[in-house]
Chain A
Amino acid sequence: MSGEEAIPAHESPGTPVRGRRPVLPGIASGVPGTPAARARLAVVVAVVLAALFAGPQYLSVGNVVLAITLFNLMAMAQAWNLIGGYGGQFSLGHGLFVGAGGYTMVLVLLHTGVPVAAAILIAGAVTAGIGALAGIPLLRLRGVYFSVGTLGVMIAAQAWVINWEWAGRTAGIYLPSDAVLGFSTQYYMGAALVVGTTAIAVVTVRSRYGLRLMAVRDDENAAQELGVNGFRVKLTAFAISAFLVGLSGALNAFEQLNLEPYSAFNIFWAVNMILACVIGGMSTFVGPLIGAALIFELQQQLQGYQDLTALIEGAILLAVIRFAPDGIWGLLYALPKSLRVLLRRLRQQDRAATGA
């Protein structure tokens, strides 16, 4: 890997980021060509979905509760990836949307007679609005300015809610008892959210809009010259991401039963999303899911040594970004090809050896 000259790419606001981007089409590369392959894919998808949604039938209550948390993490990672991986804007402040979604839903339930399903959707919509509003100033920034800017907005929101009497200040707010959902219901909602978020990601990225988004990510100035309004493209992705994370935040409120500002608007939401996406593989659909499963598994295995988890995750993150920037899915993706290349080389050596 080059880099021994260590001439850094200069970054100041306004200069385009030129660097190696993971060029991984993932599943976005296209639907399988032949009808047979398409049928195979459909069958696999159907089996997976059936197993997923039948979960509460064969899983113990404890495992259902675990699954709920896992689904939430997967959905959030997938949603972050829209603006972080495909959009090229590294948001550190996505906790803003988790908090906004959760608080909005609980406040709606506390003060209106709206049914739970509607409250969740309202939470998503309001969060999308917040995302759009925040994005207007923020998306004019690039690189680290954007990242720190999102963080600043999230912490400002936290400081605001801490002092906001209607939202319970530091005591927070609690879910009204008639809105406490059973674990099975939460499971289905979580599973639906993961599937839905992935579906939205696939559709969005595979569309013409998605091409424009990735073009902006790879070279915004060039895209601009081709007539693509980078700002508007990124703003749309940011708002969609905010909507989806807002829904996750609402579901998280059912898990927590009580919301308070320090944990609702916290950097660890974004930390988990980033860990999942970078380790799993940014700019792919499978990457965030694998990454989320991996760090969740790690957290579960190290139950007694909770502190070590973050250490290991950080180390894996560094290893991935240094040696395998395409993430684990990128490695797996390249595996068949590298195996084939390896096999071919071995066969050539064989032939050379036997003099054929």
Chain B
Amino acid sequence: MTQLINAIFLGGLYAAVSLGLTLVFGVMRLVNLAHGEILIGGGYLALFFSGHLGLDPLVSLVLVVPALMLIAYPVQRLLLNPLMAHGAEPPLVATFGLSIIAQTLFLLAYTSNDRSLSASYGLTGVNILGTDVRAVLVIAFVGAIVLVAATHLALTRLRFGMALRAAAEDPEAAVSLGIDVKHVYALTFAIGAAVTAFGSVLIGVAFSLTPTAGLTWLLRAFTVIVLGGMGSIVGTLAGGMMIAFAEQYGALAFGPQYRDLIVFSLLVIVLVIRPQGLLGKKLA
């Protein structure tokens, strides 16, 4: 029973952390290898703002989100957009280069010592059906559901959302319809970063921030979206749950020290058997 409860809430965190990645992939077919660094970078930004201004980490999102968007938009518009015309490899290499640069910047700014965001909800537990769940995970779960629902609705109801989906389906047709695809892509990347910021704060409070922590989060997020369906927003929630379940029950079966091994083996297996994921690949 404990495993089930833990899995559900942890799954919420994993979903929140992966939503940005799936959005970017769904619209632009770009897997951002620097996604882990956006997560950690957002965390360091939150550390900076909450430290200097005495803000609660979640409150500091008010500043972190615009900051990340301001960085993400030009990166996509000026660097990645031109490269995407040359095939799938150049943008991959570019995001790879970006992740290296980002890691070094983190190292220079904060050294390799562990940092974490201090918040009361990182230290208190909520008793749910007999299990003490960390408050931050409950926040993660609720937040993930809200974000997923909001994103889904935005994509299906808002005009901008429909422009996104049009650009995703057929960019050339979208251009002829008068949609500024370049701007749409850049904005999507920025929104992806914004959504990821919520995950950053969660990681900073629940776990810790180090310059090289981005890699394992990238792999986890990638596993989530592969399982849930590349590009499926709602699938991200399902994917997050699935990973969390696999971790908790796998740990129970094989021993907790194999948790990472289980997740990454799962990734490889799913990639090989059904790369488009278990829930299909249509955006939204």
Q: Could you say which of B129-137, B146-154, B192-200, B262-270 contacts chain A?
A: B262-270
* B172 at the binding interface (Cβ < 8 Å): yes
B172 touches A8 (CB 8 A): no
Q: Could you say which of B11-19, B79-87, B240-248 contacts chain A?
A: B79-87
A19 touches B175 (CB 8 A): no
A-B contact pairs, 14 of them (CB 8 A): A6-B181, A8-B30, A8-B91, A9-B85, A12-B29, A18-B87, A137-B268, A144-B31, A159-B261, A163-B261, A307-B108, A310-B107, A311-B101, A318-B97
Interface 0/1 of B175-218, CB less than 8 Å to A: 10000011001000000000000000000000000000001100
Among B88, B89, B258, the most chain A Cβ lie within 10 Å of the Cβ of: B89
Measured CB to CB, the closest approach of chain B to A342, in angstroms, equals 26
* A255 at the binding interface (Cβ < 8 Å): no
Report how far A140 CA is from B268 CA in the complex, Å: 12
Report how far A242 CA is from B53 CA in the complex, Å: 51
A160 touches B261 (CB 8 A): yes
Chain A residue with minimal CB distance to B276?
A: A13
Which positions 9-37 of chain B face chain A at CB distance < 8 Å?
28-31, 33
A278 touches B267 (CB 8 A): no
Report how far A322 CA is from B144 CA in the complex, Å: 36
* B121 at the binding interface (Cβ < 8 Å): no
Measured CB to CB, the closest approach of chain A to B155, in angstroms, equals 19
Q: Which residues of A contact B276 (CB under 8 A)?
A: 12-13
* B93 at the binding interface (Cβ < 8 Å): yes
* B114 at the binding interface (Cβ < 8 Å): no
Taking a contact as CB atoms closer than 8 A, the residue among A4, A155, A315 that contacts B260 in the complex is A155
Beyond contacts A9-B86, A12-B230, A147-B92: 12 other A-B pairs, Cβ-Cβ < 8 A, are: A3-B81, A3-B84, A3-B86, A9-B87, A20-B87, A90-B92, A152-B264, A162-B257, A163-B257, A314-B98, A317-B96, A321-B83
A322 touches B82 (CB 8 A): yes
Chain A residue with minimal CB distance to B258?
A: A163
Report how far A222 CA is from B30 CA in the complex, Å: 24
* A189 at the binding interface (Cβ < 8 Å): no
* A351 at the binding interface (Cβ < 8 Å): no
Q: Which residues of A contact B29 (CB under 8 A)?
A: 8, 10-12
Chain B residue with minimal CB distance to A317?
A: B97
A311 touches B105 (CB 8 A): yes
Q: Which residues of B contact A274 (CB under 8 A)?
A: 93, 96
Measured CB to CB, the closest approach of chain A to B86, in angstroms, equals 5
Q: Which residues of A contact B223 (CB under 8 A)?
A: 152
Taking a contact as CB atoms closer than 8 A, the residue among A90, A92, A318 that contacts B98 in the complex is A318
Q: A311-B105, A314-B97 are in contact. Are A19 and B90 (CB under 8 A)?
A: yes
Task: Tally chain A residues at the interface, Cβ within 8 Å.
Answer: 56
A141 touches B100 (CB 8 A): no
Chain A residue with minimal CB distance to B268?
A: A152
A267 touches B272 (CB 8 A): no
Q: Which residues of B contact A317 (CB under 8 A)?
A: 93, 96-97, 100
Among A2, A8, A92, A313, the most chain B Cβ lie within 10 Å of the Cβ of: A8
Measured CB to CB, the closest approach of chain A to B204, in angstroms, equals 22
Report how far A37 CA is from B279 CA in the complex, Å: 61
Measured CB to CB, the closest approach of chain A to B24, in angstroms, equals 12
Report how far A128 CA is from B98 CA in the complex, Å: 31
A322 touches B94 (CB 8 A): yes
Interface 0/1 of A1-28, CB less than 8 Å to B: 1111111111111000111110000000
Measured CB to CB, the closest approach of chain B to A176, in angstroms, equals 28
Q: A8-B28, A12-B281 are in contact. Are A318 and B94 (CB under 8 A)?
A: yes
Q: Which residues of A contact B185 (CB under 8 A)?
A: 6, 8
Q: Which residues of B contact A21 (CB under 8 A)?
A: 87
Measured CB to CB, the closest approach of chain A to B159, in angstroms, equals 21
Interface 0/1 of A273-300, CB less than 8 Å to B: 0100010000000000000000000000
Taking a contact as CB atoms closer than 8 A, the residue among A3, A6, A144 that contacts B88 in the complex is A144
Q: Which residues of B contact A160 (CB under 8 A)?
A: 261
Taking a contact as CB atoms closer than 8 A, the residue among B88, B261, B271 that contacts A19 in the complex is B88
Q: Nearest 9 CB-CB pairs, A to B?
A: A19-B87, A8-B84, A3-B82, A314-B101, A314-B100, A159-B261, A317-B97, A11-B88, A311-B104
Measured CB to CB, the closest approach of chain A to B49, in angstroms, equals 23
A5 touches B175 (CB 8 A): yes
Q: Which residues of A contact B94 (CB under 8 A)?
A: 318, 321-322
* A271 at the binding interface (Cβ < 8 Å): yes
Taking a contact as CB atoms closer than 8 A, the residue among B87, B103, B181, B260 that contacts A310 in the complex is B103
A153 touches B89 (CB 8 A): no
Report how far A151 CA is from B216 CA in the complex, Å: 10
Report how far A159 CA is from B99 CA in the complex, Å: 23
Report how far A17 CA is from B172 CA in the complex, Å: 18
B172 touches A321 (CB 8 A): no
Report how far A195 CA is from B147 CA in the complex, Å: 55
Chain A residue with minimal CB distance to B95?
A: A144
Q: Which residues of A contact B93 (CB under 8 A)?
A: 90, 274, 278, 317, 321
Chain A residue with minimal CB distance to B269?
A: A137
Q: Which residues of A contact B141 (CB under 8 A)?
A: none
